[in-house]
Amino acid sequence: MQKRSEALYFYMMSTKGTIRPPVIAVMGHVDHGKSALLDYIRKTNVVAGEAGGITQHVSAYEVVHEHEGVQKKITFLDTPGHEAFTSIRARGATVADIAILIVSAEEGVKPQTMDALSAIQKSHTPYVVAINKIDKPYADVNRTKASLIEHEIYLEGMGGDIPYNTISAKTGEGVDALLDTLLLVAELEELTGNPNQMAEGVIIEAHRDPQKGVAATLVITNGTLHSGEYVVADSAMAPVRIFENSEGHAITEASFSTPVRIIGFDSLPRVGSAFRTYERKKDAELAKSRTVTTGPVSEGLDDDDERTLIPLVIKADATGTLEAIEHELEKLKNDRIVISIIAAGVGAVSESDVQTALSSSHDAIILAFNVGIDTAAKDVAMQHGEEIHAFNIIYKLSEWLATEIANRTPKVETMEIIGSAKLLKYFSSMKNKYVVGGKVKEGTVKKAAMVRILRGHDVIGEGKILNVQAGKQDVLSIDAGEAFGAQIESDVQLQIGDILECYELVVK
C-alpha cells in the first residue's frame, strides 16, 4: 500500500497537479453522533455548547491524521442533522469530496438518514458509512447492517461496494480506521489542485459580528489565498486582512481544502455562493459590479384576493439559519394564506426592524433566532404593543409558527360525509315529512343530521333526519349494515331506491 500511495502521488504530481486534502461532510440523523465524532477528532467540545444538542450551522474544521506513516490533512464539514436544514445539508454534500453517512448502532436507519443519503446521491458524492455508538448497551451492529441493506445501502462484504467502519465517537474506538478509510477513498478520487492560481471556493457560513463586522467561513477548493488580496462572492467583497484558520489563529496564506475565516465583508455573502480572489481592488470591484443580487421577496395581495397575508420580519445569527427558516415556511403554506418575508437579515433585532413590522397593515410577526434585541427595539415594540418572538432551537420556532399560522388561517365550513343509506320502504308522508325504512350502507346515520338525496347519480335535493328508530325504539344513530326507520324532512318527494348521504358541516 505504501508503494502504491507513492506511485499515485508522483503520477498525479506529473499529470494533474498537486494532491490536495479531502473535504469531508459528516451527515446523518439528528442525534446519531455527527458532532460527537468531530468532537472526538478535534478534542474540543462542540456538543455541550449547542442549543438543544442540535448543530445549528455548517462549520468547517481541519485536522491532521497519520496515514501510512505520513501526516495528512483532512477538512471536515459539520452539517446540521435537523430536517429544517435540508438545503444546508445538501450544500454540504455538494462542497464535499467525500461524505460520511453516520448511523446509530442502536437505532439504525431513520428518515433523516435517508434525507442525508438523498443529498449525497444527488451531488454524486462518494460516501463511507460510519456505524456509531457501538459502545452503547443496546447497540446491534448486525441489525444496523440489515437496516442499511433494507434501505438499499449495500455495504462492502454484504453484496455492495460502500465502505464502512464501526465506531464509538465517545470512546474513539474505530475512529482512526474510519480516517484511514476516508484517505483511501480520497486517493481513489485523485483529488488535485493548483496552488499557484488565485484562490476560489465556497462560502460555508456568514454572520454579522457586533464588534468586528461581517465575517464569513470559506472553504478553498483550489488555488492559494494570500493576505492583501480581495475576495468576491456574488455582490459581497472583503479585503483579506483579518484572516484566520479554523482554530481562530491569524494566518497570512491558505491553500486548497482549507477552511478559513475572513472578517470585513462589505455585505453578507450568500451561503453556498462561489468566491474568487483578485490581487487588485479595482479588479475585485469590477467583478462585484457585474453581479445581480436579489433580496427577500415581499408578496402582496390583489384587492380581489381572499387569502390572508402573514408578513414576517426575520433576524437570525447566520445566513444559513435564515435559509433554514425559509425552508420551514415552505411546509406551512396553504391555499388560504400568503406568507411574505418583508424583511430578513443577520444580527440583532433593531429599531428599524420593529418599525418595518409596525408599518405593515397586516399585523407582521417579528422572529428572532439566536440573536439579541436592541434596547431601542424593545422600547419601540413595548410602546406599540408589538411582541418580538425569540427562539434558539429551530424546531421550537417551527412549532410556534405552525400554531400561529393555523390560528391566522381563515376557517372554512366544509361538508363531511359520515354515512350513507338506501331507502327500501316508503311508509307515509305528511306535507314535507316522510316516514321511510332503509339500510345503512356505510358509516353512520344520525338523528338531526343533514342528508343529501341521490337518485341514480344525481343529487336531487337535501333534507334533515328528524328521528331514527331501530326495532321500533328511538335511537341516536345507526351503523353500517343495520336496518332502520326514520322520519325525514325534505322538499323532495322521496322514493324507494333513493340514496341518503348523511353529512355534518365541519369548520376547518
Each residue's pLDDT, cut to its tens digit, for the chain (508 residues) gives 444 444 444 444 444 578 899 999 888 887 788 888 888 887 744 445 555 555 555 578 888 888 888 888 898 887 665 555 566 666 666 678 999 999 999 999 998 888 888 888 887 889 999 999 999 999 999 999 999 999 999 999 888 999 999 999 999 999 999 999 999 999 999 898 899 999 999 888 888 777 788 888 899 989 999 999 999 988 889 999 989 887 788 999 999 888 899 999 988 887 777 899 999 999 998 888 766 444 444 445 555 667 788 889 999 888 878 888 888 888 888 888 888 888 888 888 988 889 888 877 678 899 999 998 988 889 889 988 899 999 988 889 989 999 998 888 877 778 889 999 999 999 999 889 999 999 999 999 999 999 999 998 899 999 999 999 998 899 999 999 999 999 999 999 999 999 999 998 887 7
Nearest to 217 by CA among 233, 235, 228: 233
First vs last Cα of the chain: how many Å apart?
Answer: 67
Domain boundaries, the chain: 2-192, 200-289, 308-408, 413-507
Nearest to 377 by CA among 358, 363, 396: 358
| 8 Å CB contact between 432 and 491 | yes
Q: What is the chain's Cα-based Rg?
A: 32
Q: Do domains 200-289 and 413-507 have the same CATH topology?
A: yes
User: Torsions phi, psi of 146, nearest 5?
Assistant: -65, -40
Q: How far apart are CA 97 and CA 127, in angstroms?
A: 9
Nearest to 313 by CA among 270, 356, 373, 350: 356
| 8 Å CB contact between 264 and 188 | no
Q: Does domain 2-192 have CATH number 3.30.390.50?
A: no
CATH, range 200-289: 2.40.30.10
- Placement of cell 442499511 in the chain: 148
> Which residues 6+ apart lie within 8 Å of 498 measured at CB?
422, 423, 453, 454, 455
Q: Does domain 413-507 have CATH number 2.40.30.10?
A: yes
Specify the DSSP element, H or E, that contains 202. Answer: strand 200-209
Question: How many angstroms separate the Cα of 475 from the Cα of each of 3, 47, 439, 467?
Answer: 89, 62, 15, 8
Q: Does domain 308-408 have CATH number 3.60.10.10?
A: no
Question: How many angstroms separate the Cα of 230 from the Cα of each of 225, 261, 279?
Answer: 9, 13, 6
- Total-model pTM: 0.62
- What three-state secondary structure class fits 482? coil
> Which residues 6+ apart lie within 8 Å of 103 measured at CB?
28, 29, 32, 109, 113, 129, 130, 131, 132, 144, 147, 148
User: Torsions phi, psi of 445, nearest 5?
Assistant: -110, 125
